[in-house]
Chains A and B, each alone.
Chain A
Amino acid sequence: MTQYVLRRLVQMVPTFLGITVLTFAIAHLAPGDPLQLDPESARSLSVRAVRPDEPLPVQYLRWLGRVATFDFGRSLHDQRPVIEKLAEALPRTMSIAFLALLVAYGLAIPLGVYQAARPRSLVSRALGGLLFVAYSVPSFWVAVMLLLFFTGGRGLAWFPFEGLHSKDAGELGWGAWLLDTAWHLVLPVACLAYATLAVVSRQVRASMLEALTQDYVRAARARGIGRRSILFRHALRNSLLPVITMLSFSLPYLIGGSIVVERVFGIPGMGSLAFDAIGTRDYPVVMAVATLSALVTMFAVLGADLLYAVADPRIRLGGAR
């Protein structure tokens, strides 16, 4: 096990270096100068050159050296330390992504099991169709629709339409503050979660259906073990393996999707930060965001693989792939 983890970690080094090279290249080859956000006002035209004269490889190595100590420099836009801006944005994005993950998996597994348990019932077929449709609907469109129909634009005013907190949130007690935040998070999380929910529940249903035809299930049934126990103790446990693999794909998807969701719901997270930083050519921020989200993704993939390995004793760690 340790050996496997170590080998995976070693493999991550070249991947990570590749990502830093790519990030650095994109940030430095893109034309344009650091700029302010209001391109229509003539005042923002005075822009100063900030690129040092050193050759790019030297700059890259210098930057890499600093990144190794988590020093991402200062934002060219507002001169604040990049790490400070990340510290503001990352928790927001990660908590939304994590909540979305939780909601998606928390709902997907029971839904999938239900569909597998009663494959012919009307509810389960309708559910299957609905989830299939949901998977095909663009998330930003869902975002716009939710805004349109549930935030008071037209129809119901159940949820706030922007931000993470109400304007007086600072004066609330922590319990009320938490409720306020949760209330603000409902729509963004729903928006981010539903596609994952659809994919995962389809996967659960498929592998449950397959598991239920396996010999050990038949054997269990023959031994007179209860239906419920067969479903949850035997079939589900084995069906979870492919679902765990999907975790490694879900997290990058959720992080990527956050750009759109954050923009629509006005949440100042990593997505918004990245979008604005690219627009203003704020290289230090751009590079930090890209590197960081790549790192998060890599560790998510590793985590999912490890979970998989733990869950499936048949996998021989460290063996040939």
Chain B
Amino acid sequence: MSRRARLAFGLLALLVGTALFADLLANELPLAVRTGGVTYVLPALTKPLALADTTQLGLASAAEWIVHTPVPFGPNQTFATAVTRAEAAPWAPDAEHLLGTDELGRDVLARLIHGARVSLLIGFGAVLIALLVGLFLGVVAGYYGGFIDAAISRLTEVTFTFPSFFFFIALAGMLRFTSVVPLVIVMGLTRWTDIARLVRAETLKLKELDFVLAVRVLGASDARILARHIVPNALPPVLVAATFGVASAILLESALAFLGIGVPPPTASWGELLIQAHRYLVHPGAWWLAVFPGLAVAGTVLTMNLVGEALQDLQSATSNATHQTR
């Protein structure tokens, strides 16, 4: 594996780790605390009622001992440090809020960490749906050809040609976006065309190959041929495309959030921070709301693109290898 590929997978692991352990990285409650004679371990996960109204900052003075989370704020904790400040939020980066806060005094770093979860969920979720739809339609079109192929090709063209932003804005009114799920589904259902085209082309190639013809002569059913022989062989290039798809889905989500469509509040979303950045561009000039979330989006997209490249290299390496041995 090249250095670049290792870097790519390392970054991906870092991202996924951040998303998975967001609750332990940035939280209102500490990792562990002993207060009032009781020891709480990982209260962030167990959410004991006794600590329901408290925060790390509040506990710190009263507790016997306390283990803070790396970022001692929850993503939705508003005006946590308002007491010490005269000016109105958003507050610029300082020792308390390393990356500053948004207009509700919420810690930007905490929101970025929890936003990773949302972004990855949307990116991978949308691509998973797109993958399922694209694989199915592409394989069917390529394998059966004829009228079915023509119909699916037209459907692909319609979906590809239709202005997707328009689709989202219109659907935002139709569906009630109280969670990220509808957004993920709509994204998935509009972004399968590349995959379907790729799969169709691969299937066209594969179905003429000797081993597929052999299996067919042996009397295997279409479904079996498709599932056991075509799909697994068509998958590698599709996975590369899917990885780039994750990157573009994350970009799209942040652009949609910027247009006011997207995950419902108070979900931490990178795009939502960027809207605020636009609102406070000059007065009072909250540059930290523009810079850090932008870097988070760019970094994530970059990582996915790097992973895509690495997969591509791996795949062409293997196919070259097989080519040479043949």
Contact = CB atoms under 8 A, between A and B. Distances in A.
Q: In the complex they form, do A and B come into direct contact, defined as C-beta atoms under 8 angstroms apart? A: yes
Interface of A: 11, 14-15, 18-19, 22-23, 26-27, 29-32, 132-133, 135-141, 144-145, 147-148, 153-154, 252, 255-256, 259-260, 263-264, 271, 274-275, 278-279, 286, 289-290, 293-294, 297-298, 301
28 contacts: A15-B157, A15-B161, A18-B154, A22-B158, A29-B174, A30-B173, A31-B173, A32-B173, A132-B305, A132-B306, A136-B305, A137-B294, A137-B297, A137-B298, A137-B301, A138-B294, A140-B274, A141-B274, A141-B293, A148-B281, A252-B160, A256-B165, A264-B278, A274-B165, A278-B170, A286-B170, A290-B166, A298-B161
Contacts of A274: 163, 165-166, 169
Interface in B216-255: 247, 251, 254-255
Interface string B273-313: 01001100110010100110110011101100110000000
User: Which of B165, B173, B302 has the most chain A CB atoms inside 10 A of its CB?
Assistant: B165
Contact of B255 (A18, A30, A138, A301): A138
Contact of A136 (B157, B278, B285, B298): B298
A298 B158 CA distance: 9
B170 A141 contact: no
A19 B160 CA distance: 10
B212 interface: no
A142 to B, nearest CB: 8
Contacts of A31: 173-174
B302 A144 contact: no
Contact of A144 (B164, B174, B285, B290): B290
Nearest to A297: B161
Contact of A147 (B255, B281, B294): B281
Interface string B134-145: 000000000000
B255 A140 contact: yes
A290 B162 contact: yes
Nearest to A145: B290
Contacts of B166: 26, 274, 278, 286, 289-290, 293
Given A30-B170, A147-B281, A148-B287, A294 B154 contact: no
Nearest to A153: B282
Contacts of B167: 26
Contacts of A256: 163-165
A18 B155 contact: yes
A51 to B, nearest CB: 15
Contacts of B254: 138, 140-141
Contacts of B16: none
B302 A136 contact: yes
Interface in B93-150: none
Contact of A153 (B258, B285, B297, B306): B285
Given A136-B247, A260-B258, A141 B297 contact: yes
A278 B163 contact: no
Contact of A138 (B161, B281, B301): B301
A133 B247 CA distance: 12
Contacts of A144: 274, 277-278, 281, 290, 294
Interface residues of B, number: 41
Contacts of A275: 169, 259
A277 B258 CA distance: 18
A19 B165 contact: no
A255 B163 contact: yes
Interface string B153-190: 01101101111111101110110000000000000000
Contacts of A294: 161-163
Nearest to B299: A136
A259 B259 contact: yes
B163 A293 contact: yes
A138 B174 contact: no
Contacts of A255: 163
Given A22-B162, A136-B247, A136-B298, A260 B287 contact: no
A11 B158 CA distance: 11
Contacts of B251: 138
Contacts of A11: 154
Contacts of A27: 170
Contacts of A271: 165
Contacts of B277: 144
Contacts of B278: 144, 147, 264
Contacts of B164: 256
A148 B161 contact: no
User: Which of A133, A138, A139, A289 has the most chain B CB atoms inside 10 A of its CB?
Assistant: A138
Contacts of A30: 170-171, 173-174
Nearest to A281: B173
B171 A26 contact: yes
